[in-house]
Amino acid sequence: MRKKANASRFRPSLAALVNRETMLTISRSMFKATGMVVSFNDQDGRSIVEHEAYHPFCRLVCSTTLGRERCRLSNLDVGTDSARRHGSNLRPCHAGIPLLSVPIIGSQHHLGSIVFGQVLLQKPTEDVVRTMLRGTSDLGHRNEDLADLYVTVPVVEADRYHSAAHLVAFVAQSFAEMTLNRELRTKIREERERRLEAARIRSELEASLRRAELHSLADKIKPHFLFNTLNVIARLIMMDRAQEAADVVYSLSRLLRLSLEQADDNSTLEDELAYVESYLTIQKKRFGARLRYVIDIPADLNSTCLPALTLQPLVENALTHGLEPLPQGGSLCITATELRADVLLTVSDDGAGISHREVRAFEDWKSNNKPSLADDTEGSLGLRITHRRLDLRFGKGYGLTVAKRVGGGTSVTMTVPGTRPR
């Protein structure tokens, strides 16, 4: 009997999911910005991305075969515990260095973990140093060398340690999930093509795919935003502005915590504005005086319901394609008005502007009965994803309208149902 494909059995390795160059860039950037070391480990505790960012103490410990094996076992233990807890886990390694592990989960399987370490949370006492020496006494190193290097391990504040660790975990989890979802969608599509031969289940499949696409589009927005923000951090580091890069890391961590705390895809205008204000605070690090913005939203519209992360892509599009190309930058304005039973949210800028051809292309794409994201032209992916999400959520008549402003610049208007009684 021929076996059917089962997407739930698909369980790739973490090494096959993550982009090693991207993970290496994250490791190096985090080390330069904060002095902390990030390790991406598989289920056996082995690092899948080799990098040079090691503290001298840890490099000395790992210089022997026995030391490397003990470090692997420490990573394995803390990673396994974090997977069992379904959350972060903090415990010392065999040499007494705190390790914070966050599991990477894909398709309900533990694929590996991110271990954050090679820093101390408080200045080591003599008792702590003696404990470290007992744990490393058989590695063949001189106690004086171990002790001298151990006391030079950086000491960081606990809240910054946890914030930075969860930020890196969120980024890596997003990358892994994107690849995993792509593989799963391929298998699901193959299964769907076979099942579509039975007309009896066609309507059920269409409804299921509609719900799946809505969540898939929401997932695309987060990595799209992360890629751009990581570029800001990388640029600051390249400009030797490490402290500002660290500030952006911690600001981004606070911003991402808002999205992590959302139980589903539902949000309100008030929450979306809080998210956008955090995003604009980060962008000020890059634009400086070149970025000016005004947010003018009536308080009685704050309860308007809309999908999470649908306002931020409009702001990002205005910054990236409207203000950034201009040496002098420009201004951005976010407003909201009521039109009968609907709410119109508008993000406008006085930047480089949009051509009539691009406006027509977007409207032609919208008018397609089954608009695809595959034929996207550069610069409109965020807008197309956002419009598709609004269309799936609210139906025909809702979504985005793009217009060329008289005098220069672009305006993008989002139409969503109001919350007042009809």
Identify any residues that bridge with 155 across adjacent strands, giving them in sequence order.
120
Ramachandran area for residue 329 (φ above 0: left; ψ -120 to 50: alpha; else beta)? left
Provide the whole-model pTM.
Answer: 0.54
Q: Which residues does 381 contact at the CB level (< 8 Å), separation at least 6?
A: 224, 373
Let me know the angle formed at the C-alpha of 272 by 270 and 278, rounded to the nearest 5 degrees.
Answer: 105
| pLDDT value of position 400 | 95
Q: For the chain, which residues make up each domain, given as ranges?
A: 14-162, 196-417
Quote the strand ranges of 10-97, DSSP E.
37-42, 89-92
Mean pLDDT value of segment 187-212: 59
Ramachandran area for residue 372 (φ above 0: left; ψ -120 to 50: alpha; else beta)? beta
Is 32 in contact with 237 (CB distance < 8 Å)?
A: yes
Quote the strand ranges of 33-97, DSSP E.
37-42, 89-92
217 half-sphere exposure, CB direction, 13 A CA radius: 28
What are the structure tokens assigned to 2, written together? 């021929």
Give the count of beta carbons closer than 10 Å to the beta carbon of residue 375.
10
Mean pLDDT value of segment 76-91: 84
pLDDT at 284 over 70: yes
Confidence class for position 190, pLDDT limits 50, 70, 90: confident
pLDDT at 269 over 60: yes
The bridge status of strand 109-117 relative to strand 98-106 is antiparallel
What are the structure tokens assigned to 68, written together? 């490397």
pLDDT at 373 over 90: no
| Percentage of the chain modeled with pLDDT above 70 | 76
Q: How far apart are CA 337 and CA 330, in angstroms?
A: 23
Q: How far apart are CA 264 and CA 301, in angstroms?
A: 21
Q: Which of 109-123, 179-193, 308-322, 331-345 has the highest mean pLDDT?
A: 331-345
Who has greater pLDDT, 258 or 383? 383
Is 279 in contact with 311 (CB distance < 8 Å)?
A: no
Distance in Å from the first CA to the final CA of the chain: 57
- Among the four given CATH numbers 1.20.1300, 2.40.160, 3.40.50, 3.30.450, the one describing domain 14-162: 3.30.450
Give the chain's mean pLDDT: 79
- Token pair 């895809």 is found at 265
Who has greater pLDDT, 335 or 186? 335
- Token pair 């000491």 is found at 155
Identify the three-state secondary structure at position 93: coil
How far is CA 96 from each of CA 163, 216, 340, rounded to the nearest angstrom?
21, 42, 64
pLDDT at 197 over 70: no
Widest CA span of the chain, in angstroms?
A: 79
Mean pLDDT value of segment 59-65: 91
Mean pLDDT value of segment 351-357: 90
Question: Tens digits of per-residue pLDDT, 140-169?
Answer: 999 999 999 999 998 888 887 777 777 766
What are the structure tokens assigned to 201, written together? 């289940």
Confidence class for position 3, pLDDT limits 50, 70, 90: very low
| pLDDT value of position 349 | 96
Residue 7 burial by Cβ neighbours in a 10 Å radius (0-12, 13-18, 19+): middle
Question: Tens digits of per-residue pLDDT, 291-318?
Answer: 999 999 999 999 999 988 889 889 988 9
* CATH number for the domain whose boundaries are 196-417: 3.30.565.10
| pLDDT value of position 259 | 63
How far is CA 301 from each of CA 230, 294, 335, 341, 344, rounded to the nearest angstrom?
32, 17, 11, 12, 10
pLDDT at 221 over 50: no
Q: Which of 360, 372, 355, 280 is nearest to 321 (CA)?
A: 355
